[in-house]
Structure 1
Amino acid sequence: MRTPLLRLFTVLASGLLLAACALTPPPAAPGAAQAKAELLWLGQSTFRLTTPSGKVIVTDPWLRPNPKTPAEYKDLAKLGKVDLILVTHGHGDHIADAPDLALMNKARVIAPGDLNMVLNTLGVLPPELTPRMNKSGTIVPFPDVPGLKITMVKAEHSSLFAWKNPATGKIESHYGGEPVGFIIELENGQKIYHMGDTGLFGDMKFIGEYYKPDVLLIPIGGNFTTAPVDAAYATREFLKPRFAIPMHYGTNPLNRGTPEQYMQALGQTNTKVVPLQPGEKFSF
Structure 2
Amino acid sequence: MFKPLLLATGFAVTQLFSIAAQAKTELTYYGQAGYKIVTPQGHVIMIDPWLTNPKNPQGEAQLKALKKVDLILLTHGHFDHIGDTVAIAKQTGAKLVTNFDLGKVMVEKLDFPKDQFGFPTTGNIGGQIPLLNGDIQVGFTQAIHSSSVGVPLADGTETYYGGTVTGLHIQIKDGPSFYHTGDTDVFQDMALINLFGPVDVMLAAIGDTFTMGPKRAAHAVKLVQPRKMVIPNHFGTFPLLRGTPEQFAGFLKQEGVTTPMQVMQPGQSLTLE
TM-score normalised by L of structure 2: 0.87
Q: Give distance in 1, aligned partners of 2:195 and 2:252.
A: 19
Q: Give distance in 2, aligned partners of 1:221 and 1:102.
A: 28
| Structure-2 residue corresponding to 1:9 | none
Structure 1 residues 281 and 214: CA distance shift in structure 2, 3 A: same
Structure 1 residues 220 and 121: CA distance shift in structure 2, 3 A: same
SS in 2 for 1:140: strand
| Structure-2 residue corresponding to 1:79 | 66
Work out whether residues 63 and 74 of structure 1, in 8 Å CA contact, stay in contact via their aligned partners in 2: no
Work out whether residues 119 and 130 of structure 1, in 8 Å CA contact, stay in contact via their aligned partners in 2: no
What amino acid is aligned across from residue 194 of structure 1 in structure 2?
H
SS in 2 for 1:203: helix
Task: Write out per-residue CA displacement over residues 5-27 of structure 1, whole angstroms, 9 at most, x where no aligned residue.
Answer: xxxxxxxx9xxx8xx98xx9797
CA RMSD of superposed structures (Å): 2.4
| Structure-2 residue corresponding to 1:199 | 185
Query: Which of the pair is proportionally richer in strand?
Result: 2
Q: Give distance in 2, aligned partners of 1:29 and 1:212.
A: 24
| Structure-1 residue corresponding to 2:91 | 104
- Displacement of 1:153 after TM fit? 1.0
Instruction: Please list every run of 5 or more consecutive structure 2 residues that lacks an aligned counterpart in the other structure.
Output: none
- Displacement of 1:31 after TM fit? 4.7
| Structure-2 residue corresponding to 1:240 | 225
Counterparts of 1:1-284 in structure 2 under 5 Å? Answer: 28=15, 31-34=18-21, 35-64=23-52, 66-71=53-58, 73-122=60-109, 124-131=111-118, 132-143=122-133, 146-165=134-153, 168=154, 170-188=156-174, 190-208=176-194, 211-236=197-222, 238-242=223-227, 243-267=229-253, 268-284=256-272
Work out whether residues 191 and 212 of structure 1, in 8 Å CA contact, stay in contact via their aligned partners in 2: yes
Judge which range, 116-125 or 148-157, deviates more. 116-125
Structure 1 residues 30 and 210: CA distance shift in structure 2, 3 A: closer
SS in 1 for 2:188: coil
Work out whether residues 58 and 267 of structure 2, in 8 Å CA contact, stay in contact via their aligned partners in 1: no
SS in 2 for 1:128: helix
- Displacement of 1:128 after TM fit? 1.9
Q: Give distance in 2, aligned partners of 1:70 and 1:53.
A: 30
Aligned identity (percent) is 37
Q: Give distance in 2, aligned partners of 1:211 and 1:70.
A: 36
SS in 1 for 2:141: strand
Structure 1 residues 120 and 72: CA distance shift in structure 2, 3 A: closer
Number of matched pairs: 260
Q: Give distance in 2, aligned partners of 1:59 and 1:276.
A: 15
Q: Give distance in 2, aligned partners of 1:104 and 1:264.
A: 42
What amino acid is aligned across from residue 240 of structure 1 in structure 2?
Q
